[in-house]
């Protein structure tokens, strides 16, 4: 009997209560190919429920009604002898989707799904539904889904990522950002974002604050953002305070500052994938020093 096997990751509508935004910028519903064997679509409701049921731990004489459902799913067709995402391609697609627009898509509802010749589900094996990547978080209350235009943007970004060689430090920053998405608390995310941005603009051991303060605005300008030197310095100073004593309660202004720097990191990664020359520039400390000199360094 002919069978087909898929890796499937379901993104749910858990915690989404904004009908106006859903109407203005609706989530993707039509099937869109990323590459021939990977696509995003909305599965049949009963099929999605079967997969989600299989991924949830079962109690004894206990049943809890789920208060949310599938929004859309990422699907990859695989050969029947493959393990879960054995080459990491599906993880790369999810990571790049977070670069396009932050969402909470994760491995919480991930599974290896076998279908018969009539495309009926006959077997569901849970994927990595616990451990790293099983949960993802967003830093603010922005829209928690991809639109159709963003999925098409993801398709192009994935093609560019496969075609272009993303050099260090930006290649490392891509995964720093994904680790950041797995963290619920901003104080932890703050350190990861700061470390990623530091790895880009720091070219030597001395004058660390000055390097960050002077070069972050230059980096931002390159990717179409405006960040002031005083904002860069405040972010870096708060990072130091966090390392030594913790942030405590995060003010609204500080949260906005964090979100600004997280957006910068996403834009830098995306721009580097699309423009290999920029990735090469950031990999060359001498070019950074010449293009973004520190002036009179005092720190």
Long-range pairs, 276-280, Cβ under 8 A, ≥24: 276/164, 276/165, 278/222, 279/164, 279/165, 279/166, 279/167, 279/170, 280/167
Query: Exposed e or buried b for every residue in 208-219, given b needs 16+ CB within 10 A?
Result: eebbbbbbbbbb
pLDDT tops 80 at residue 295: no
**The pLDDT of residue 297:** 43
**The pLDDT of residue 249:** 61
Identify the band that residue 142 occupies on the pLDDT scale cut at 50, 70 and 90: confident
- Most confident of the ranges 52-61, 138-147, 196-205: 196-205
Mean pLDDT to the nearest integer, 158-171: 94
**The pLDDT of residue 230:** 97
**The pLDDT of residue 62:** 79
**The pLDDT of residue 125:** 95
Mean pLDDT to the nearest integer, 49-56: 96
**The pLDDT of residue 6:** 96
Identify the band that residue 299 occupies on the pLDDT scale cut at 50, 70 and 90: very low
3-state secondary structure of 275: coil
**The pLDDT of residue 160:** 97
Q: What percent of the chain has pLDDT over 70?
A: 95
Query: Taking a C-beta distance cutoff of 8 angstroms, is the pair 200, 268 a contact?
Result: yes
Q: Which residue has the higher pLDDT, 20 or 36?
A: 36
Peptide bond into 169 cis (omega under 30): yes
**The pLDDT of residue 254:** 87
Mean pLDDT to the nearest integer, 218-233: 97
pLDDT tops 80 at residue 264: yes
Identify the band that residue 59 occupies on the pLDDT scale cut at 50, 70 and 90: confident
**The pLDDT of residue 298:** 44
**The pLDDT of residue 244:** 65
Which tens digit of pLDDT belongs to each residue from 232-250? 999 999 887 776 666 556 7
Q: Nearest Cα to 7, choosing from 107, 101, 132, 116?
A: 107
Identify the band that residue 16 occupies on the pLDDT scale cut at 50, 70 and 90: confident
Choice among 17-26, 83-92, 130-139, 181-190 with the minimum mean pLDDT? 17-26
* Non-local CB neighbours of 84 within 8 Å, separated by 6+ positions: 7, 110, 112, 127, 128
């Amino acid at each position: 009997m002919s069978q087909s096997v898929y890796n499937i990751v379901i993104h749910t509508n858990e915690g989404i209560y904004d009908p106006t935004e859903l109407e203005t910028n609706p989530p993707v519903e039509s099937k869109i190919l990323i590459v021939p064997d990977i696509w995003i679509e909305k599965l049949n409701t009963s099929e999605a429920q079967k997969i989600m049921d299989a991924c949830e731990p079962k109690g004894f004489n206990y049943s809890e009604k789920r208060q949310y459902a599938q929004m859309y799913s990422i699907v990859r067709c695989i050969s029947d002898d493959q393990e879960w995402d054995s080459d990491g391609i599906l993880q790369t697609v999810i990571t790049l989707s977070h670069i396009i627009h932050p969402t909470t898509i994760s491995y919480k509802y991930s599974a290896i799904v076998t279908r018969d010749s009539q495309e009926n589900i006959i077997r569901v094996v849970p994927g990595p539904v616990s451990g790293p990547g099983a949960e993802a978080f967003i830093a603010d209350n922005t829209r928690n889904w991809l639109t159709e235009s963003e999925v098409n943007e993801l398709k192009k970004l994935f093609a560019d990522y496969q075609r272009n060689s993303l050099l260090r430090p930006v290649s490392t920053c891509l995964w720093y950002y994904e680790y950041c998405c797995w963290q619920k608390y901003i104080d932890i995310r703050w350190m990861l974002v700061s470390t990623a941005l530091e790895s880009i603009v720091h070219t030597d051991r001395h004058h660390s604050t000055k390097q960050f303060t002077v070069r972050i605005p230059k980096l931002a300008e390159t990717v179409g953002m405006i960040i002031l030197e005083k904002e860069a310095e405040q972010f870096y100073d708060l990072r130091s305070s966090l390392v030594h004593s913790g942030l405590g309660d995060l003010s609204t202004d500080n949260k906005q500052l964090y979100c600004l720097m997280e957006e910068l990191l996403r834009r830098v990664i995306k721009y580097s994938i699309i423009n290999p020359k920029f990735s090469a520039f950031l990999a060359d400390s001498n070019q950074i020093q010449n293009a973004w000199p520190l002036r009179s360094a005092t720190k």
